[in-house]
Amino acid sequence: MCGIFGYVGHDRNAADLVLRGLKKLEYRGYDSWGVAVGHRDQVVLEKRTGKIGDAVPDLPASAIGIGHTRWATHGGVTEHNAHPHLDCAGRLALIHNGIVSNYRELREPLVRSGHRFRSETDTEVVAHLIEECLAATPAGPEQLVTATMTAFRRLRGLNAIAVADVRTRQIAAAKSGSPLVLGWSDHGHLLASDFSALLEHTRRVTFVEDRQAVLLSRERCRVFDADTGRELTPAITEVEWEAAATELSGYPDYMTKEIHEQPAVLRRLAEAGGEHARRLAAMIRDAGDVFVIGCGTASHAALAAQYLLARIAGRRVTVASASEFPYLGDFVGEGALVVALSQSGETIDVIDAVRAARQRGARIAAMVNVEGSTLWRLADLTVPLGAGPERCVLATKSFTAKLAILLLTAYELADEAAAAATLIERAADEIERLLADDRRDLIRHVAEAIHTREHLFVIGRGPSYPLALEAALKVKEVSYIHAEGFAGGDLKHGVIALIEPGTPCLVLAPRDETYDDIMAGAMQVKARGAMLIGVSPEPHEAFDYHIPVADLGPATAILNAPPAQLLGYYLALLRGHDPDKPRNLAKSVTVK
Ligand code: F6R
C-alpha cells in the first residue's frame, strides 16, 4: 500500500516527472497524494486529498523531487497526514510505505527535545528522527545515507522510507518488507515502489533488498547494507515490460482494457506456458505435501487448483488463504512444496507465509505476474503469469492467467500437456467472442435490471465453486453491492433465508456432472422468488436471464470468469463508481 517515487537528475521539471510516476503508482493507494521539490535549499510542498486526477503541480522548477500516494493507516485522510512529511527546518522531505510499529516510543523523546509535529501519522516521526541523526553525523557525501541508516535501524515494522535532502540534492532510502526499486536513466536516478512507474525513463533497474539502503544523487546511485553501512555493488536488471503496456491505449479505463487483454494473455500462455508448467508439475510430482496459497482473487485461483489437480491429475493438494496459512504451519516441513499465487508478488501475507514455510524446510514455487517482485525473487521456481501490467485494482487477466497455468500443470501431471494448450486457445477464442458479440449488451442489460438491488448471490458446484466466490468478489468490490458466492449445496443450509422476491442469483451451470444438482438448487431459490441469471451452455426455463457460455470441459472455469467481470464493471458504472479504483482498496496489500 502507498506508492513512493523519487527523482534527482538533470531534468528541472521534477514536480511533473514525480506526479507522472505517482499516477502510475496510484493503484497502491489513492486517498491523498503529495509532491515535494527543492527550491533555494528549502522544501516546497504540495499535498491534496483525493485521487490525483488531472492535477498539475504548482511547484517551482527543480531537479530533485519526491512524491507519495497514500493508503491511510495511521491518521485520517487529510492534507496534514498526506506525505511528504518535513523535518523542523524544512530541509528534509520524507515519504514512507509501511507501518512504523514503535512510532509512539520514538516520538516522545523527539517531542521533548522540541521537534514540532504537524500530523497524526507514524511516518512523521521518521522525518524528525533523521533530522536528529543528521545533526549527529559528521558532514560529508555520505552524511544523509548514514543518518538515514541510523534512523532506519531504530524502526520496527515493515517499511520503505525515502528522504530528500534539498540542500545536498540527494535522496536516501532504506527498506525492510515494503518494495523499492531504483531506476538508472540517462537523465538521472529514480526510485519507486514498483518498476512499472519507472518504465517511461528506463528499463534498467535495481531491486533493493530488505535491509539495504541507497543514496541517489544526480551523478551516482549507491547501495549499502543498512545494518553495517558497508557499500555493496548494485545488481542491475533489464526488465522486459514495455512502457506502452501501462497506457490505456484507447480504452476508457484499465478494467475494460484488462478484461479485453485476456484472450491475448491466454494465447501467449497456450503457446509459451508449457515449459513453466512442466517445471511446476515436476516439482509437484517430487513433493510430499503440496500447499497452494494466495489472498483474495488469488485464493480463489488456489481453490480452483484443488479441483483441477484432483480431477485432471488425481493429485491432492491443500489450499489455504495465505493469511491463515501460518496457523497451519505445523504440517509444513521438509519435502513439502508451497505454491504461492500472487499478481503483485508483494502481498505481505503471501510473503510472510512463504518465508515461514521456507524456514521449515519447504520448497517454494510462485505463480506471479510482476517481474522482479519480492515473491518472484524468493521462490525456488517462478512461473511468470505473463499477463503484463495490471493497473485496475480488481484482478481480471491475472486470474484467468493463473487458471490457464494451473490447467497446463494439471494436464502435464496427467501426461496430456497438448490437450491443455488446445483448450486454452479455445477459451481465448470464446472470450474474444463474448467480448465482441451481443452477450456484452445482455450483461449490461442484466446490470441495469439489478443495479439498485442490495444483495446478489452466486452459486456454483465443484470446479465452478471457486468461480462463484470470484464472481461475487468482482461484483462487490467494484459495485459495493453485497454479493456472496456459495457452494451450490450449501445454499439451503442457511443462506436461503436471505432470498426474497427479486433477489438476483447468478447460477454457474456448466454441462458437467454438477449440472443437475446446481439446477435443483437454483429451482429452490427460484421457488422463493429469486431472479435467476444463468451462466451456462444450456438455456433453462427457470432462467430470467441466460448468458450462454461454451462448454469447454475443465477449461469452462476460465470462461465463467469474464461474465462476472463485465457484470461488476457495468454495475459500477451504473452506480457511479470508478471501476479502476474502488473505495478503501489498494492493489498491492503490503501491510498486515
Ligand atoms: C480482487 C483483488 C485482490 C487480490 C489480492 C491478492 O480483485 O485484486 O483480492 O487478488 O489482494 O493480490 P496479489 O494477487 O497481488 O497477491
pLDDT digits (tens, 9 = 90+) for 267-293: 999 999 999 999 999 999 999 999 999
Which of 332, 291, 330, 334 has its CA nearest to residue 309? 291
Q: What is the mean pLDDT of residues 412-431?
A: 96
Which of 311, 273, 388, 295 has its CA nearest to residue 348? 295
pLDDT at 583: 87
Contact call for residues 533 and 507 (beta carbons, < 8 A):
yes
Q: CA torsion sign, 183 to 187 to 188 to 190?
A: negative
Query: Which phi and psi angles does 97 have, rounded to 5°?
Result: -130, 120
pLDDT at 1 over 80: no
- Strand (E) or helix (H) holding 427: helix 417-436
CATH of residue 381: 3.40.50.10490
Between 28 and 216, name the one with better pLDDT. Answer: 216
Which of 120, 102, 169, 162 has its CA nearest to residue 141? 169
Would you say residue 588 lies in a domain?
no
Q: Are residues 480 and 427 in the same domain?
A: no
Q: How much of the chain, in percent, has pLDDT values that exceed 90?
A: 90
Residue 35 Cα to ligand 1 middle (Å):
28
Number of folded domains in the chain?
3
pLDDT in tens, 363-385: 999 999 999 999 999 999 999 99
Contact call for residues 427 and 397 (beta carbons, < 8 A):
no
Between 586 and 13, name the one with better pLDDT. Answer: 13
CA-to-CA distance for 291 and 306, rounded, in angstroms?
A: 9
pLDDT in tens, 180-231: 999 999 999 999 999 999 999 999 999 999 999 999 999 999 999 999 999 9
Would you say residue 590 lies in a domain?
no
Ligand 1 contacts CB of residue 395 (under 6 A): yes
Which residue carries 463508481 as its cell?
A: 577
Ligand 1 contacts CB of residue 385 (under 6 A): no
Q: What is the mean pLDDT of residues 117-124?
A: 94
Asked which of 381, 406, 433 is the last residue of a domain, the reply is: 433
Q: Which of 120-134, 276-290, 317-331, 424-438 has the lowest mean pLDDT?
A: 317-331
CA-to-CA distance for 262 and 247, rounded, in angstroms?
A: 16
Name, in order, each residue with C-beta under 8 angstroms of 433's C-beta and a sequence gap of 6 or more. none
Asked which of 402, 433, 464 is the last residue of a domain, the reply is: 433
Which residue carries 513512493 as its cell?
A: 4
* β-pair type (221-225, 231-232): antiparallel
CB count, 10 Å around CB of 211? 17
Would you say residue 586 lies in a domain?
no
Q: Are residues 457 and 492 in the same domain?
A: yes
375 CA closest ligand 1 atom index: 16
pLDDT at 25: 92
Q: Are residues 410 and 479 in the same domain?
A: no
pLDDT at 313 over 80: yes
CATH of residue 189: 3.60.20.10
Cis peptide bond prior to 84, omega within 30° of 0: yes
Would you say residue 584 lies in a domain?
no
Would you say residue 237 lies in a domain?
yes
Contact call for residues 363 and 338 (beta carbons, < 8 A):
yes
Q: Are residues 234 and 260 in the same domain?
A: no
pLDDT in tens, 502-550: 999 999 999 999 999 999 999 999 999 999 999 999 999 999 999 999 9
What is the best residue among 178, 344, 583 to mutate for testing ligand 1's pocket, by most ligand atoms within 8 Å of CB? Answer: 344
**Residue 304 binned pLDDT confidence (cut-offs 50, 70, 90):** very high
Give 208's DSSP letter. Answer: P
pLDDT at 469: 98
pLDDT in tens, 138-173: 999 999 999 999 999 999 998 999 999 999 999 999
Q: Are residues 475 and 539 in the same domain?
A: yes
Asked which of 376, 398, 433 is the last residue of a domain, the reply is: 433
CA-to-CA distance for 356 and 537, rounded, in angstroms?
A: 44
The count of C-alpha atoms lying within 13 angstroms of the C-alpha of 100, restricted to the half-sphere facing its C-beta, is: 26
Buried b (16+ CB within 10 A) or exposed e, 418-436: ebbbebbbbbbebbbebbe
Instruction: Read off the C-alpha cell for 95.
Output: 515519504
pLDDT at 331: 83
pLDDT at 243 over 80: no
* β-pair type (204-207, 32-39): unpaired
pLDDT at 72: 86
Name the residue with the closest Cα to ligand 1, atom 10.
297
What is the best residue among 323, 347, 400, 590 to mutate for testing ligand 1's pocket, by most ligand atoms within 8 Å of CB? Answer: 347
pLDDT in tens, 318-347: 999 999 998 887 889 899 999 999 999 999
Would you say residue 228 lies in a domain?
yes
In the three-class reduction of DSSP (H, G, I as helix; E, B as strand; rest coil), residue 470 is classed as: helix
In the three-class reduction of DSSP (H, G, I as helix; E, B as strand; rest coil), residue 362 is classed as: coil
Contact call for residues 382 and 414 (beta carbons, < 8 A):
no
pLDDT at 587 over 80: no
Name the residue with the closest Cα to ligand 1, atom 11.
296
pLDDT at 160: 95
Instruction: Read off the C-alpha cell for 517.
Output: 444438482
Q: What is the mean pLDDT of residues 38-59?
A: 94
Give 117's DSSP letter. Answer: P
Q: What is the mean pLDDT of residues 17-30?
A: 92
Residue 295 Cα to ligand 1 middle (Å):
6
Q: Are residues 53 and 156 in the same domain?
A: yes
Contact call for residues 548 and 359 (beta carbons, < 8 A):
no
pLDDT at 336: 97
Give ∠ CA 177-297-321 in degrees, rounded to 5: 65
Q: Are residues 332 and 223 in the same domain?
A: no
Q: What is the mean pLDDT of residues 12-25?
A: 96
Q: Are residues 50 and 168 in the same domain?
A: yes
Instruction: Read off the C-alpha cell for 155.
Output: 524502526
- Strand (E) or helix (H) holding 257: helix 254-260
Residue type at position 350: V
What residues make up the domain containing 464?
A: 437-578
pLDDT at 147: 98
Q: Are residues 382 and 497 in the same domain?
A: no
First to last CA, the chain: 10
Q: Are residues 386 and 489 in the same domain?
A: no
Name the residue with the closest Cα to ligand 1, atom 7.
394
**Residue 74 binned pLDDT confidence (cut-offs 50, 70, 90):** confident
Ligand 1 contacts CB of residue 568 (under 6 A): no
Q: Are residues 468 and 562 in the same domain?
A: yes
pLDDT in tens, 442-493: 999 999 999 999 999 999 999 999 999 999 999 999 999 999 999 999 988 9
Would you say residue 544 lies in a domain?
yes
Catalytic residue annotation: 2, 587
Supply the mean pLDDT for the chain.
95
Q: What is the mean pLDDT of residues 60-64?
A: 97
Contact call for residues 213 and 223 (beta carbons, < 8 A):
yes
3-state secondary structure 505-539: EEEECCCCCCHHHHHHHHHHHHCCCCEEEEEECCC
Ligand 1 contacts CB of residue 344 (under 6 A): yes
In the three-class reduction of DSSP (H, G, I as helix; E, B as strand; rest coil), residue 125 is classed as: helix
Give 211's DSSP letter. Answer: T
Q: Are residues 225 and 296 in the same domain?
A: no
